[in-house]
Structure 1
């Protein structure tokens, strides 16, 4: 199709509109919902009165873009790069994106073999700071690897820092990952991640709203985050400052009713401040993949119970533990004193004390009993006796 021809068919109209209307434009989305993609494309091509909600200046800008759009050429370029266009209502379209309402993408450009719809059904977003710490990168990679090993798809934005660590963690575990870009999917960005994004396209999926060759802008990065939030069952913020774009993703997830999670970090780190702010609200604290899956997974996918190490005294019978606890830390005590402290009879206390002596916890001092040097710290849990 040449630049002067009207779009033919809904798919071609939507391809055309990705060149004209910016991602997340709710006014443009309303036009498409009310009039259909083909009619909106026709109006933009043919001119005439502006559509509702567009000023004369904005309408002129959209018309100028429309005059340069070549949807047939975009589709041909995409095919050459191994990229396909998926529109709402098609078999591969993830239905959860419809939750965005009029901010729903006009369509998605998809690079990679797997089905986006199928992968999105069991996916989780891992996002965070670009200038992350070593701790943040380690946590992102470990969480991603753990999720991948459990059969979950890791979704992120392909950026430096936490995004890159998350993608690498999933790939390193032989798992599935999706990069959502704020530019044409045939033009990897950032350039320093060309090799990584190429590997993602080979092993997973690279998707975006913008047509081939289009470049990223600050506003497109922000608007891209709503797609990450809507596409997945939940969003995990691994490390983020107060003004991090990953907080935009988390808040979009909250508005959409998705699970929102955050990983705690040092209270003194500015790069953990944003994550901690989320945790002061409705976000759930997570520290490993099992905890994430417990929240977003199916019934029965529970994280293991957390507990400290089992100490030798934990294996004692309850009665013996009470007698042991009744012994003073710094002096010997008679059996009747120990019995009163343990709330038992003197005969029972004596029997327990002999049992504890055999185990090395106590020793006999004349007519009294005293904790052994080695057991003082053990019994008191490492605290100095008062």
Structure 2
């Protein structure tokens, strides 16, 4: 077995063995390959790490029997998914900012590259019990961002999350849902059709293995991945004790831009956002232009694609190159449907490849049409 595949299998096992954000396992993985960590757990070889005592080792060992990492990999692959780990070309390096709490790996379904999609991504989060105003604003902001070639990231929950995903999907945009359950589990059930659509047109992502269900603890830990993955976080509506504020705080701690949308001063569901803005913890934004003015700058600072040479066409994957070949250089461009006919690929895959090309600086979106980026001489 290739070294990277052995490492992947070991990380799948550790993914079952520990909960998301386990800093003890994270410290261990910082010093040893996952294969060696698994061997150390089985042999009872405890390194001198804070928090890794005999009791914790015994807890890990108690969970070992019955674990079948190869079965987990087969299960997600049969569902059209994959398990990506550090060292893979698809791994988003900004997750390393989480330190020892970095995910062991990520389960994904969909055909887009998570690394490329995350290069131009914004998180939109907020209350589950949102108002009509909040849902409208979230949908509008998401649609505007998608029309500008940005990827919208949220958690697929009721309320603001669902409105954000639907806004991007409605204009043929790309959206990523970071779940607090397995990628093969539709939660909440009321959003099952939305989650299915995201898995086709966008990307589903989770730290948790297939079949795992959410709990309150996992929702909070999921939020750190949303904050780290994106260039900035926008809170649309949140009460004073809303879980969405934890995403905003994480984003701020990770030096990402944190933004908030003002609501009625009489609304309890906007009180948390107002407090965040008033304390200086977030910047007030009212439309997608104000959002991209902020995250565009930080995106250039963290991952400058445009300041250096873009990847040559001959290094593109075949499917990506086929889509790029179909994109016209004319000012009016072409819609996804025409590009699908010319490239011979399904419209959903064409859309995903277009967003990858946007991240690489090859194409740009204007409304419903796409065209090749014109280079200044």
User: Does TM, normalized by the shorter one, top 0.5?
Assistant: yes
Counterpart of 1:19 (choices 4, 16, 21) is: 16
Kindly tell me: are residues 50 and 190 of structure 1, through their superposed partners in 2, closer, same or farther at Cα, counting changes over 3 Å? farther
Task: Give me the TM-score of the superposition, normalised by structure 2.
Answer: 0.75
Comparing 221-230 with 49-58, which one deviates more in the overlay? Answer: 49-58
What RMSD over aligned residues (CA atoms) do the two structures have, in Å?
Answer: 1.8
Pairwise CA distance, 1:296: 1.0
Equivalence for 2:180: 182
Equivalence for 1:126: 124
Equivalence for 1:9: 6
Equivalence for 1:78: 76
- Give the count of matched residue pairs: 295
Counterpart of 1:37 (choices 17, 29, 34) is: 34
Q: Where does 1:1-386 land on structure 2 (aligned, <5 Å)?
A: 9-47=6-44, 49=46, 52=49, 53-280=51-278, 281-298=280-297
**Bigger relative contact order, structure 1 or 2 (CA pairs below 8 A, ≥6 apart):** 2
Aligned counterparts of 2:5 and 2:103: Cα–Cα separation in 1: 20
Kindly tell me: are residues 184 and 51 of structure 1, through their superposed partners in 2, closer, same or farther at Cα, counting changes over 3 Å? farther
Aligned counterparts of 1:138 and 1:49: Cα–Cα separation in 2: 53
SS at match of 1:120: helix
- Contact residue 147 and residue 154 of structure 1 kept, 8 A: yes
- Contact residue 148 and residue 154 of structure 1 kept, 8 A: yes
- Contact residue 45 and residue 67 of structure 1 kept, 8 A: no
Aligned counterparts of 2:48 and 2:160: Cα–Cα separation in 1: 41
SS at match of 2:149: coil
Aligned counterparts of 1:192 and 1:61: Cα–Cα separation in 2: 36
SS at match of 2:30: helix
Q: Which entry has the higher C-alpha Rg, 1 or 2?
A: 1
Aligned counterparts of 2:220 and 2:149: Cα–Cα separation in 1: 28
Aligned counterparts of 1:8 and 1:206: Cα–Cα separation in 2: 22
Kindly tell me: are residues 208 and 28 of structure 1, through their superposed partners in 2, closer, same or farther at Cα, counting changes over 3 Å? same
Pairwise CA distance, 1:57: 3.1
- Contact residue 46 and residue 52 of structure 2 kept, 8 A: no
Aligned counterparts of 1:8 and 1:279: Cα–Cα separation in 2: 46
Comparing 31-40 with 15-24, which one deviates more in the overlay? Answer: 31-40
Pairwise CA distance, 1:51: 6.4
- Contact residue 240 and residue 273 of structure 1 kept, 8 A: yes
Aligned counterparts of 1:50 and 1:217: Cα–Cα separation in 2: 31
Pairwise CA distance, 1:40: 1.1
Kindly tell me: are residues 8 and 292 of structure 1, through their superposed partners in 2, closer, same or farther at Cα, counting changes over 3 Å? closer
- Cα offsets for 1:70-102 (capped at 9, x unmatched): 100100111111110100111000111111111
Equivalence for 2:374: none
Pairwise CA distance, 1:243: 1.1
SS at match of 1:68: coil
- Contact residue 50 and residue 56 of structure 1 kept, 8 A: no
Aligned counterparts of 1:194 and 1:153: Cα–Cα separation in 2: 21
Aligned counterparts of 1:174 and 1:47: Cα–Cα separation in 2: 52
* Structure 2: gaps of 5 or more residues: 301-377
Equivalence for 2:333: none
Aligned counterparts of 2:45 and 2:84: Cα–Cα separation in 1: 30
Task: Give me the TM-score of the superposition, normalised by structure 1.
Answer: 0.74
Aligned counterparts of 2:263 and 2:62: Cα–Cα separation in 1: 48
- Cα offsets for 1:294-345 (capped at 9, x unmatched): 111159x9xxxxxxxxxxxxxxxxxxxxxxxxxxxxxxxxxxxxxxxxxxxx
SS at match of 1:155: strand
